[in-house]
Amino acid sequence: MRSRGTGRVFRRSYRAKDGTLLLARTWSLEWYDRRRGVKVRESTGLRRQSEAEALLRKRLGDRDVGRPSGPQVERTTFVELLQLVEDDYIVNARDSLVRLRQSLAHLREHFTGLRAVEITEERLAVYTRTRIAEGAANGTVNRELAALKRAFRLGERLQRVARRPYIAMLKEASPRKGFFEPAELEALLVHLPESVRAVVEVAYITGWRVKSEILTRQWKHIDFVNGWLRLEPGETKNGDGRMFPLTPWLRSVLERERRRTETLERETGQIIPWVFHRAGEGIRYFRRCWMAACKATGLAQPHRRKDGRLVWLPTRIPHDFRRTAVRNLERAGVPRSAAMAMVGHKTEAIYRRYAIADERMLREGATRLAAFIEPSRRPRAKGSGPVSGPVATLGGRKLVAWDGIEPPTRGFSVRCSTN
C-alpha cells in the first residue's frame, strides 16, 4: 500500500478497434505538485517499471526541495529564455538594449533548436572556443555569456528551468587608456564639420556620454543666466539627474551653437529644440566624419579584414573623452566627490577605472614628490655611518640611538670602542 503524497506509476489503458482493453507499453507518472496546487500526469516513455519509479522519486525529491520539475520545465526552449531577457530589458527601458540584441544574435546562431536543459557546460565551452576562433574579443564573448546568464537567472526565477549551468567568464583585457591631449583635440576639430565640432568640445569638457547625454540635449536643458547644463532625472545611465557648471569655454561653445541655431531658424522659419543638429535635425550618429577626421590627423591605423579589404580603424573613440575629462579633473585638483558628481560616476570603483594615470601625471607626481622630500635631506659627513644621535651609558657600555633605516636591535645599539 503506497503512502499518501508519494505518487504512483501506472500504464495507461486504452481500447483496441475490436473493443479489447489493452495497457500501454510505456509507464506514466502521477504526483501532486504542491507549489502549483495541481495533479501532474506525464508519460515517461519508459518501458521498465523500475526506471519509471526512479523518475518518480526524482520528481518528488525536486518537489520537496522546491526545485522546478516536470515536463513543462524540460520543454522550455533556449529561444524562450532569450525572449525573457529581451522582454526584461524592454520593460525596464534599459539603454543597452541594442547591445543586448547583438549578443543574442550570436547566441541564437549556436543554440537555436535546443532546450534549456540541453545547454550544458560542455556546450558552453564549445561556444566560447568557437567565438574566439571567429576573432571575437574576450570582452565581447563575456557580454554574450552575461546575457545568457541573465536569461537562465530569469528562467529560474519564473520556475522555467531546474538549474543554471555554470557559465565561466573569460579574463578581459585591461580597461582602455585612450586620452586626448590638447594638441590632438585641436587637430581633430579642424577636420570635423561645424555641427559635430561642438559635440566633441562639450564631450572633452564635461566627460558626459556622447550618444545618450550630449546629443539628446535641448535648449531647455541649458540655463545661461545661472550657468548650468542639466541632465534631468531618468536621462542618465544611473537614473540620477546631473548638472555641470558652464565654464568659460563651455559657455562660448554653447553660445556659438545658439547663434547658429537662431540664424537657421530665421532662414527656415522652423523652431529647433536641439542644441546639436544638422540643418535642424538632431544628430544621431557621426561615425563617418569621425573616422575621416581620425585618419586625417593620424589617429587611425590600417587593418586588413578577412575578405582582404584594407580599412582604417580609429585609435580613439568618443568615449575616450570621458577618461580625458576625469584625468583633467584629477590634474586640476578637483575634490573627488565633486568630480564624480560632475561626470556622473556613482561609485569610486567606477571612477577609479577612468582615473588612469598616464605618463605625464606620473612625471608630475615624481616632481611634486621631489619638491617635498629634497629640502629635508641633510648632508652627511664623508665616512660617517648610519649610527648617530645621543649616547647613553648602561653597565659600562656606550649605547647610541639608532636612526638608520632598519636597526638590528630596537631602540639602542652598542657602539664599539677601543678604549
Residue entry with cell 652627511: 380
Query: Greater confidence, 364 or 147?
Result: 147
Q: How far apart are CA 94 and CA 100, in angstroms?
A: 10
CA distance 247 to 258: 16
Are both 238 and 313 inside the same structural domain? yes
Asked whether the beta carbons of 60 and 7 are under 8 A apart, the reply is yes
Do the beta carbons of residue 116 and residue 152 sit within 8 Å?
A: yes
Which of 11, 40, 35 lies closest to 23 in space, CA to CA?
Answer: 11
User: Is 362 a member of any domain?
Assistant: no
Q: Which residues pair with 274 in a beta bridge?
A: 218
Query: Residue 372: inside a domain, yes or no?
Result: no
CA 143 from chain centre, in angstroms, equals 8
For 245-287, write each residue's pLDDT tens digit: 999 999 999 999 999 999 999 999 999 999 999 989 999 989 9
Cell numbers that stand for 331 in this block: 590634474
Mean pLDDT of 12-17: 85
Whether residue 285 sits in one domain with residue 153: no
Q: By three-state DSSP, how is residue 170 classified?
A: coil
Cα angle for residues 136, 141, 142 (degrees, 5° grid): 145
pTM for the full predicted model: 0.61
Q: Which of 45, 68, 91 is the last residue of a domain?
A: 68
Q: Report which of residues 101 and 311 the model is more confident about.
A: 101
Give the best-scoring range by mean pLDDT among 63-72, 175-184, 187-196.
Answer: 187-196
Whole-number percent of the chain with pLDDT over 70 = 79
Please give the Cα distance from 274 to 267 (Å, whole number).
16
Examine residue 260 and state whether it is found in any structural domain, yes or no: yes
Total domains in the fold of the chain? 4
Residue range 3-10: average pLDDT?
A: 75
Let me know whether 277 and 302 are in one domain.
yes
Q: Give 18's Cβ-side CA count (13 Å radius).
A: 2
pLDDT above 90 for 193: yes
Beta strands 13-15 and 21-23 are: antiparallel
Examine residue 87 and state whether it is found in any structural domain, yes or no.
yes
Which structural domain, as residue segments, surrounds residue 192? Answer: 182-328
- Which residue among 68, 100, 118 closes a domain? 68
Q: Is residue 114 part of a domain?
A: yes
3-state SS string for 283-323: CCCCHHHHHHHHHHCCCEEEEECCCCCEEEEECCCCCHHHH
Give me the chain's average pLDDT, please: 82
Are residue 13 and residue 147 in the same domain, yes or no?
no
How far apart are alpha carbons 74 and 84 in whole angstroms?
16
Same domain, 187 and 322: yes
Q: Has residue 185 got a pLDDT over 70? A: yes
* Pairing status of strand 8-10 against strand 27-33: antiparallel
Question: What's the DSSP call for residue 244?
Answer: E
pLDDT computed for residue 203 by the predictor? 94
Higher-confidence residue: 39 or 194? 194
For the segment 64-88, what is each residue's pLDDT rounded down to a tens digit?
Answer: 666 666 667 778 899 999 999 999 9
DSSP state of 214: I
The yes-or-no verdict on residue 179 having pLDDT over 90 is: no
